[in-house]
Chains A and B, each alone.
Chain A
Amino acid sequence: MTERGARTAGLLTSQAILKAHHRREALKTALVHGALILACAVCVYPLLRILAVSLRPGDRIISTDLSIIPQGATMVSYARVFAETHFLFWLWNSLVITVATSLVGVALASTAAYAFSRFKFPGQRLGLSLLLGTQMLPAGMLILPLFLMIMRLKLMNTYLGMVIAYSVSSLPFSIWILKGYFDTIPRSLEEAALVDGTSVFGAFYRIVLPLSTPALAIAFLFNFTQAWNEYLVARVILTDSYKYTWTLGLFDLQGQYLTQWGMFAAASLLVTIPVMAVFLYSSKWLLTGMTLGGVKG
C-alpha cells in the first residue's frame, strides 16, 4: 500500500470509529429520553384520569370511557364542591396550618442546624444521630404520643396544636438538610461579619441565612408538602368539621353507600393549585452556587 493509500485507510478507520461512537451516543440519548417520557406518563396519567372524572356529567361518573375530555364535559362537580361543602373553610384551614408550620419549622430548623454546624457542645453527634433515628420510625407510631402531648397542652382542635404536631415531625429532616448546607458556607464569612461589627446571631441572620436560600427553600417546601398532604395527625387532633383541613374534608365526601366521585375528583384537583403555586414561586430560590465568589475556591 502506498503512503497516501495508508493515510486514506487510516482516515477511513477513524471516521468509522467516530461514526460508531455517534451512533452509540444517539442510541443512549434515545433510551434515556424514552425512559423519562415513560416516567412522566406514569406520573401524569392518574392526574388526567382525575381530570376526566371531575368533568363527567353526573350520569356518566361510573363510565368506562377513557377519553380525557369526556362526552358532555361539565364543570358542575366543581360548582358543587363550593356550593355543597365547606371546601373554602378546609382550604383556608389547610393554608393557615401549612404556612405557619412551614415558617415555624424553617425558623426552628435553621437555628438548630446552625448550632449543630458551628458550635461544639456535649451530645452534638448523639443529638444528630437521634434526630436521624426519629425519621426511621413509622409515622403511625408517633400518633399516640403526639395525641397525648397535644391533649395535655389543651390544644386539641386548634391551629396551634396542628402547627406544633406538624413542625416537630418535619424538624429532623429540615435540620439535616440545613446543617449540610451551612457546613459548606465558609466560616471566614461569619468571622468577617463579626469583625465588621455583627453579633454571632447577626452574622447568622445577615450572612448565613441570605446565602442559604436554596436550602431554606427546600426545607420550606418539604414542610409545606408534608403539612399540606397530611391526614392521620389531622384526623386525631381535629374533630370540629369547621376546623378540618382539606384532607379530612375530602375524606368525608366518601359516604358509606354513596361516594361523590365527581366532587371528590374536582376537589382533589383544586387542592393542588396552592401547592403548585408555592412550588413554582419557590423554584426561583432553588438556585445553587449562591456562595460562589465570596472566598477563594
Chain B
Amino acid sequence: MSSVTFKSITKRFGSNEVLHDVGLQIADKEFLVLVGPSGCGKSTLLRMLAGLEETSEGEIHIGEKLVNHLPPRDREIAMVFQDYALYPHMTVAENMSFGLRLKGIAPDEVDRRVLKAANILQIEPLLKRTPRQLSGGQRQRVAIGRAIVREPKVFPFDEPLSNLDAKLREEMRIEIAKLHQKLATTIIYVTHDQVEAMTLATRIAVVNAGRIQQVGTPTDVFGRPENMFVAGFIGSPTMNFIEGVLLRENGVLRFKTEGVDVPVLGGTGAEPLGPATFGVRPEAISIERGGAGGDGVVAAEVEVVELLGYRKNVHLKVAGAKVLASVSAAFGGEPGEKVGLRFDPAGVHLFEKGTGRRIR
C-alpha cells in the first residue's frame, strides 16, 4: 500500500486550463474523497493519477515513485470506472483475472485471488456469467472485484455508484466502507454526491473550477467550511445564505439586514466589519410559532412545508430572503403562518462579501 502526492498539478486541454496548481497529499491507507460539481476537474485529476490523461505541469508520486512518465500498467493501481467498463466478451471470472493473466501470474494463484475477491464481494455464483447477465449492482461488484484481485497500491474509484439507483447506492456505499476496513488500502474516490463523501471519507477534498477549496475531515468540512462554496456544497439540505452587514453594537457583534438583526455569538473580536454573508444550516434553525419575540429572533412567514417522514423541510420568507429550515416532523405550522426563527450559534457561519472567505 502507498501514499499519493500531487505536486502543483496543472492540466490543460488545448488552451483551456481545467486544473490550476493543485497540491494534495494522501496518506497510506487513507480514504480520500474528491468531491465537487460536474466539470470541476476531479475526475481529470483521478485519470491523471491512473495515467489515462497526461499531466501538463506538476508531479504525481505514488509512494516515493514519480509516475508522470509511466504508462497505466506500471503504476500499480487498479481503477474502478463509473460505467463499470467490464469486458462484455469475457465471463466474470475472466474479467477479474484479466490483469493477473496479463502479468503472467500462475493459474493456481489467479484462481485463488479471484475466489478470494469473489468471496469478499459475494459474487461467487456469478463467476461464469457474462456482464450482460448481471444487474447494475452485480456489475459494480465485479468491477470492484477486478480491482481487488490485482492487490494494487492505490484504488482510484471514479464515481462508482452514480449509475445505481438510490437503494443500491446506499447498499454499495456500506460495502465499499467495509471493503476499506477489510483491505486497509489507499482509496481515492471521486464523487459529486456529498452524502457519499461525508459517509465514506477519512478526509474530503472539495474541488471547484479546477481548484481545491478545502481539505479536511468530514466534520471539519461540514462544521468549519473555509468558503461559501464549501459551505453551500457540503450538507443536505444546503446552507442558507443571507446578504447583510456585520457591525458591532455595544461591544456585541451583530449581523443586520432588512428584517434580520441577530447577535453573532462566539466571535474572536477580530472579525472585519462591513458587508458580509450570513450562513446558517437548515438544521440549526428552530421555529417558534406565534411570531417573533426577543433578541435574535427573526420574523418569518411559512411558504411551503414538505414532509420527509421523520423531518419536515419548511420554506420560509424572511423580508426579502428565502430560508429553508429542517425541523422535526411534529412541527404543525401551515403556509401563511407568521413565525419566529432562532439560530443555533453552532450552525451559524459568516463569510466575506465578494471573496466568500470564512470570517467566523
Chain A residues close to B by CB (< 8 Å): 186, 188-189, 191-199, 202, 207, 210-211, 290-296
Contacts and interface: CB of A to CB of B under 8 A. Distances in A.
Contacts of A197: 73, 99, 102-103
Contacts of B111: none
Most buried by A among B71, B72, B133, B150: B72
Interface string B70-103: 0111000111011111111100000000110011
A210 B86 contact: no
Contacts of B139: 293, 296
28 contacts: A186-B83, A191-B52, A191-B72, A192-B87, A192-B146, A193-B87, A194-B71, A194-B72, A194-B73, A195-B79, A195-B99, A196-B98, A196-B150, A197-B99, A197-B102, A197-B103, A202-B102, A211-B88, A290-B88, A290-B89, A293-B88, A293-B130, A293-B134, A293-B139, A294-B85, A294-B86, A295-B83, A296-B163
Given A191-B81, A195-B50, A296-B84, A210 B99 contact: no
Nearest to B162: A296
Contacts of B130: 293
Contacts of A195: 50-52, 72-73, 77-79, 99
Interface residues of B, number: 32
Interface of B: 50-52, 71-73, 77-79, 81-89, 98-99, 102-103, 130-134, 136, 139, 146, 150, 163
Nearest to B77: A195
Contacts of B150: 196
Contacts of A202: 102
Contacts of B52: 191, 194-195
Contacts of B82: 188, 296
A199 B83 CA distance: 21
A49 B150 CA distance: 65
Contacts of B133: 293
Nearest to B156: A195
Given A188-B83, A191-B81, A194-B71, A293 B131 contact: yes
Most buried by B among A193, A196, A202, A290: A196
A192 B85 contact: yes
Nearest to A202: B102
B98 A295 contact: no
B86 A295 contact: yes
A293 B85 contact: no
A189 B87 contact: yes
Nearest to A186: B83
Contacts of A211: 88-89
Contacts of B81: 188, 191-192, 295
A125 to B, nearest CB: 16
Nearest to B79: A195
A59 B7 CA distance: 92
Contact of A292 (B83, B88, B98): B88
Contacts of B163: 296
B71 A199 contact: yes
Contacts of A198: 73, 102
Given A192-B85, A295-B81, A295-B85, 11 more contacts: A191-B79, A191-B85, A194-B51, A196-B78, A196-B102, A197-B73, A199-B73, A293-B88, A294-B85, A295-B86, A296-B139
B84 A294 contact: yes
Contacts of B51: 194-195
A133 to B, nearest CB: 29
Contacts of A294: 84-88, 131-132
Give the top 10 A-B pairs by smallest Cβ distance, nearest first.
A293-B132, A294-B88, A196-B99, A295-B83, A192-B85, A188-B85, A197-B102, A293-B131, A296-B163, A197-B73
Given A195-B50, A197-B73, A296 B136 contact: yes
A174 B24 CA distance: 48
A19 B82 CA distance: 50
A292 B163 CA distance: 16
A293 to B, nearest CB: 3
A148 B49 CA distance: 53
Contacts of B77: 195
Contacts of A191: 50, 52, 72, 79, 81, 85
Most buried by B among A189, A193, A292, A294: A294
B154 to A, nearest CB: 11
B102 A210 contact: no
A194 B134 CA distance: 24
B205 to A, nearest CB: 22
Contacts of A210: 89
